[in-house]
Amino acid sequence: MAPPRHLLLLLLLGFLAAASLAFTLTAAVYEDQVGLADWHQKYIGKVKQAVYHSQKSGRRRVVVLTEENVIASLDLRSGDIFWRHVIEKNDPVDELSLSLGKYVVTLSSGGSILRAWNLPDGQMIWETNLQVSKSSKPLLHVLSNNKVAKDNLVFVLAGRWIYAVSSIDGVISWGKEFSLDGLDLKQIIKSPENDIVYAVGLAGSSKLNLYQLNAKTGETVKHIQESFPIALCGETILGSHNVLVALDETRSDLFLIELKGESISYNKVHISDLVQDLSGTVKLLPLMSNGVIALQASSTVSLLKLKGIDGLEVIQSFEQPAAVSDALTITEKDEAFAVVQHTGSEIEFVVKFTSDVTGEVIREKINIDQHRGNIQKVFLNNYIRTDKSHGFRALVVMEDHSLLLVQQGEVVWSREDGLASIVDVTTSELPIEKDGVSVANVEHNLFEWLKGHMLKLKGTLMLANADELAAIQAMRLKSSEKNKMTRDHNGFRKLLIVLTKAGKVIALHTGDGRIIWSNLLQSLRSSKSGEMPSALRICQWQVPHHRVMHENPSILIIGRSGADSAAPGVLSVLDSYSGEELNSLKLDHSVVQIIPLTVKDSSEHRLQLIVDSHSRAHLYPRSPDAMNVFLHEMPNTYLYTVDIETNVIRGHSLQKSCDNSADEYCFSTKELWSIVFPSDTERIAISETRKMNEVVHAQAKIIADQDVMYKYLSKNLVFVATVSPKASGEIGSAAPEEAWLVAYLIDAVTGRILHRVTHHGAQGPVHAVVSENWVVYHYFNLRAHRFEMAVIEIYDQSRADNKDVMKLILGKHNLSAPITSYSRPEVMVKSQSYFFTFSVKAIAATQTAKGITSKQLLIGTIGDQVLALDKRFVDPRRSVNPTQQEKEEGIIPLTDALPIIPTTHFTIFLSQSYLTHSLQVEALRGIVSIPSKLESTTLVFTYGVDLFYTQLAPSRTYDSLTDEFSYALLLITIAALVAAIVVTWIWSEKKELRDKWR
Amino acid sequence: MAARLLLLVLFAVVAARVGAAAAYQPGSAEGHTIAGRIKIDAASAIAKGFGLPAKTSNTKVILNGGQRVTFARPDGYFAFHNVPAGTHLIEVSSLGYLFSPVRVDISARNPGHIQAALTENRRVLNELVLEPLREEQYYEKREPFSIMSLLKSPMGMMLGFMVIMVFVMPKMMENIDPEEIKQAQEQMRNSPVPSFSGLLARANS
């Protein structure tokens, strides 16, 4: 009897073990779950400078500097990032250079910070601070003389200062300030023969100064000054080793300046003699040496050959858009450069030698995706082919900020670096799955399926070896389910549609972050006259539901045709599924404020109100149908504007039609109220409102003692924070006595201040998030010298007497009474504040489909990560000793600081985790939470220079089984149970038989 | 682990004129220099699986919430130059580690006198050694295999109940005195509530 029982016991225990593992619930991810529901993409931004590492062997690299202030080392073969540093925006990097073939030298902050980075791994080697004159323009030159190996000096020119710094350890070899007033050094020329450097500077725009300096000591050997009859605009380039080409102030004449050892002589050339069309701004392109320069006008790029200083000769002109690369030294005598221009849908890549400009070394036609726009920059590089001849490749920067490597007539790789500068994000549903497409095809046969699950089981039991682990990971990532192009039941699969600074709209799939479509909007491309349009906003335009189900959803992109806020606006409507531009509109008014309304017209178009600089509101779409819908809504539509410059908040109502315009879709506004903050004591730091699409499930909150508190849920609630003028600077600039922060809760319809609280000794930067009936804001407390996070919750007292059940039954309640902002609200406000360890870059709150799931705060930390903090940590009802009832409700005992460290006894109830786990979203700017159809889960998209997407379940996935759930195990358990029943039944039968025989 | 990872931030604070050589007459002589050091134990960094011993390559030191940012050198040293007198805040951002912000007071009257303290626990740093707060745990740890967690799961309970039914119930039945069972059965028969079997029995008799 005993042996079979033991066997059974073992069997049962085995399944028990397996079963329990399938049920461990998680808050944060396990290390092997990385990449299952999340993806991370690294970008660098639009490249403005590229330096090739000319190493004969080993991995070929290119070091780039971008407009997002990123320095990065890229693999030239694949475009992958070796290393990357995102430098803070207030420390702009101006120049980048290579030194000694192993250091990357960068000059930033107007020439005052010089840094050297190790080329292989990006480690900072040294940093030197330089004292430069404040008046200097950020026009700087780093010159590293690699050829002279003995001293390895790096020269820095900024304003009146010149420095020579050793590139090995960053020690300043010598530094010199020229005493001339208004001097701005422009060029440095190293004499090839001796240790003399020539520094050329402009003083007072028309006096050219030439200094001869000893490169080793910095002693001034000679100083020559030459006055010019016309002012120069400051743009100078070196035509050849001793000829300087300068543009005059009107940009219509060129000065050819010869620098001889003893004197300066110059000659004036009219540009109009050389180039016919001179509309727009004329620029000199920095192509140097052997007497070839490039001149860029608005319609052409011309190559000019210097004939001493006597004159210039046009060699060739290229139609714009075209780009010319810098000269690249091939042999001791010869240099090559590239010209790239558009021919139809292709680009033409031409390489020439400066010694023979009319000839061509290479002419290649390369097919390029037309959604990349025009070519903007080209960086040429050469390599030695197997037959010892020179081959050329080039990095090409396109209008949409993408970076391409072209070689042998082909695009070798491309980087979509426009995604480093996202302006706005929206989402779109994917198309519904068509009938006939069977899901069963995905799950091959049962055997394969079981095998996969057995492998997973092995992984969870930690029995799998390395190969099997890799197979599991690959299987998980491959699971095609999440990458399908159709809508899923849980609403996890969506399109993230982003608008980039370049005016490109890109749709990313939430499954793996791949680009579904992209479209560089014609209306947001820079025009020939040099106007730079700016992309502003992306909103839903048409979200089809019942009636217009067969139509594709569409999105609206709003931009300005210029950088100025008074520039007329541009609208584009795009199909969300294909990215095709359906409609494009040039507005005759400016765009100051965009108000998406909650109403839709009969064809499911979302109504949008655009306010222009004359405070007139314009309705879109312009259709009588939309107009009818809007006229109903108009009496209840109020707008408010926050004017940070004049320190005023104004509220407006709309009035029918504009006074002096025949446009019936235009409405004039009437000022209803204004709040003027006294400028000498308060400055508006931030204003924040609830998300328009937020869903709130419960209007009331039942607190511990069976009492009910009604949330004050007004869509018109505006949070405004002001700081004292002295405290509006950075931390450390104000004393606690002269710093304060005032937080306001304002009703945007009436302008009534619902709540006002002053934090003495507090200062910005302020970050805030408003959700439901609460505001959480982050600021710096100067007295404690720590960051603080405060919460304000606002409750409606007027409905507080509805607690009586009898009244509810008898209908004596006011729950169905219309809520109007004009009745004086009786509100009750609770607030509390806590210390928070770090400074914060962004705060958001999670949004779910029905608003039932408890909220989490998503905090972008100083380390460019996203911390998910349960809202219950910032609950003003926290007290030091919560009662038993309050504890049951989930109130946490009050602590003076918010824990970054998840304390053990809370983790059971409260999750706090890094959403980004061990990844960083460099230069984090925004966090967007998008509800999925599954109530427990929200989709979080974080953007900065990098992109990160993940799914988050603030209260864990209570409404679905996790991916971890092993169905195979469930089946096995059931089978085991059935087997056990059968076995025990047989035993009992046998036993009964035996008993009967007895 | 925390003890092994020794993080030392040494604040050697010098009221120096900016630029390396004083001969270049800096414009603002009141600028101070805050110099310090970050040391992360390389062994622990490798053990943690973050790979490179050159962990400091991405360690940023942030002054006053982003006013200035510098990077740690290979040896962990960093410096901010030309900092005005006053109270400042230094934060350290390094992937995988949690650093406490440091409050730095530069006295205006008493040049060169600089105080530093951790803001998290208000510890004053004199000759300044800062212990790490902790290493970040980015991933949930797989719970080790334990019988208790098995039993707590729904399937475990299901099986547990079955085990009880299979092994314990018969034992309990065995332990009951056979006479008592009979008695109980008698009682059931004689019970006022007529059972179906009872009814049948009566009908037969």
B53: helix, strand or coil: coil
Whole-number Å distance between alpha carbons of A855 and A867: 13
Q: Give the pLDDT confidence score for residue A310 in this predicted structure.
A: 74
- In this structure, CATH architecture of domain B12-135: Sandwich (2.60)
Residues A945, A922 contacting (CB under 8 angstroms)? yes
In this structure, how many other beta carbons lie within 10 angstroms of the beta carbon of residue A548? 15
- Ranges of chain A whose pLDDT falls below 70: 1-29, 55-58, 134-151, 192-194, 261, 277-282, 286-290, 434-445, 460-462, 475-480, 528-530, 546-549, 660-661, 704, 800-824, 900-912, 962-966
The closest of A230, A306, A314 to A272, measured between CA atoms, is A314
Q: How far is CA A366 from the centre of its chain?
A: 31
Which of B155, B162, B168, B171 to mutate to test binding with chain A, by most A CBs within 10 Å of its CB? Answer: B155
Q: What is the ipTM of this complex?
A: 0.79
Helix (H) or strand (E) holding B182: helix B178-190
What number of helices (H) and strands (E) belong to chain A?
8, 65
Listed by start position, the domains of chain B span 12-135, 147-204
| Residue B47 scores a pLDDT above 60 | no
Q: Give the pLDDT confidence score for residue A345 in this predicted structure.
A: 80
Residue A158 to residues A117, A135, A371, B142, Cα–Cα distance (Å): 21, 9, 39, 56
Which of B142, B152, B171 to mutate to test binding with chain A, by most A CBs within 10 Å of its CB? Answer: B142
The closest of A481, A452, A478 to A464, measured between CA atoms, is A452
Query: How far apart are the CA of B71 and the nearest CA of chain A, in angstroms?
Result: 7
Q: Give the pLDDT confidence score for residue A815 in this predicted structure.
A: 57
Query: How far apart are the CA of A448 and the nearest CA of chain B, in angstroms?
Result: 25
CA dihedral A986, A989, A995, A998 (to 10 degrees): -90
Helix (H) or strand (E) holding A996: helix A967-997
A424: helix, strand or coil: strand
Q: Give the pLDDT confidence score for residue A437 in this predicted structure.
A: 41
Taking CB atoms and an 8 Å cut-off, how many pairs form between chains A and B?
183
Query: In chain B, which residues have their Cβ closer than 8 Å to the Cβ of A783?
Result: none
Listed by start position, the domains of chain A span 416-433+485-591, 441-483, 595-676, 966-998
Tokens 């009319």 map to which residue? Answer: A358
Which of B30, B82, B119, B173 to mutate to test binding with chain A, by most A CBs within 10 Å of its CB? Answer: B119
Helix (H) or strand (E) holding B103: strand B102-106
The larger pLDDT score, comparing residue B183 to residue A73, is at A73
Q: Give the pLDDT confidence score for residue B53 in this predicted structure.
A: 43
A177: contact with B, CB 8 A cutoff: yes
* Assigned CATH for A416-433+485-591: 2.40.10.480
Query: How far apart are the CA of B69 and the nearest CA of chain A, in angstroms?
Result: 7
Q: Give the pLDDT confidence score for residue B85 in this predicted structure.
A: 83
Nearest CB to B24: which of A30, A177, A733? A177
| Residue B52 scores a pLDDT above 80 | no
Q: Give the pLDDT confidence score for residue B200 in this predicted structure.
A: 54
Q: Give the pLDDT confidence score for residue B58 in this predicted structure.
A: 76
A142 - beta bridge partners? A156
A168: contact with B, CB 8 A cutoff: no
CB contact under 8 A, A900 and B152: no
Nearest CB to A88: which of B69, B140, B151? B69
Whole-number Å distance between alpha carbons of A113 and A69: 14
CA dihedral A950, A955, A959, A965 (to 10 degrees): 60
pTM: 0.84
Query: In chain B, which residues have their Cβ closer than 8 Å to the Cβ of A177?
Result: 24-25
Residues A71, A84 contacting (CB under 8 angstroms)? yes
Amino acid at A572: S
Whole-number Å distance between alpha carbons of A518 and A373: 12
The closest of B70, B76, B128 to B104, measured between CA atoms, is B128
Nearest CB to A977: which of B19, B137, B162? B162
Maximum average pLDDT range among A303-312, A960-969, B96-105, B150-159 = B96-105
CB contact under 8 A, B84 and A864: no
A507: helix, strand or coil: strand
Query: How far apart are the CA of A841 and the nearest CA of chain B, in angstroms?
Result: 10
Helix (H), strand (E), coil (C) string for A628-660? HHHHHHHHHCEEEEEECCCCEEEEEEEECCCCC
Amino acid at A189: I
CB contact under 8 A, A175 and B19: yes
In this structure, how many other beta carbons lie within 10 angstroms of the beta carbon of residue A249? 14
| Residue B8 scores a pLDDT above 90 | no
Q: Give the pLDDT confidence score for residue B49 in this predicted structure.
A: 47
Cβ neighbourhood burial of A188 (10 Å; 0-12, 13-18, 19+): buried
Provide the token pair at A893.
């005992």
CB contact under 8 A, A131 and B163: no
A862: contact with B, CB 8 A cutoff: yes
| Alpha helix stretches (DSSP H) within A767-883 | 805-810
A19: contact with B, CB 8 A cutoff: yes
CB contact under 8 A, A839 and B151: no
